[in-house]
Structure 1
Amino acid sequence: MVAIAALLGVGVAGDASAQIDWGRSAEREDSRTCERIGADRGKEYTRCMLNQQRRRDNAPLYAAEQQRNNAEAARNNVETVRRIRCNREAKRARERGERPLPCA
């Protein structure tokens, strides 16, 4: 029982360590970005770092919104293709002298 608890504790600590390392990496990347645009100290640097953090925080929201938009576009495309096929079949049926099925 103690061994399992110890292993779980090491796993959680490893997870936290990985998150801290990722955070430091992100901070270094943001810092380099701010320095590259000329905000290397003072209020400009602080403002830039806050903007970089906001961008990083909002990135998953933007990605989810883009995914939702793509899914909606795909649904619209499927419906458009269905209507085109239905209208094509109705035209062929009329050309054969048959009564076409209604397109819903």
Structure 2
Amino acid sequence: MNENRYPKCHIYSQDSWHDEAYIIGNKKGLEKLRDAINLTLEKGNTKNDFWPKDLEGYDVLIACVEDEVLDDLALPYSPEFYDRLDDEKEAYTVLKKPYYALKD
């Protein structure tokens, strides 16, 4: 199996306030992430497949929303550090179909 053909991308979230978040990938993975963001800005919600180093594929869903929508969402911190407020919505609520995908 040629692992170089996979768009590999590791996305590490921040655990708590002021922590760093990381996006680390091979060239193909970072170019695909860039292209997926550009497609989201052009057409709307996107859903594209990526792979971590163990090649267990996963989807990255991306949405571009207005500030008012973003302000209603739960913060992206680990539940260990942040308890979601009752009036905050889960992030997946803005990821409505249709999803656009890049053509391989």
TM-score range relative to shorter protein: under 0.3
Which has the larger share of strand? 2
The two structures have a TM-score, normalised by structure 2, of: 0.23
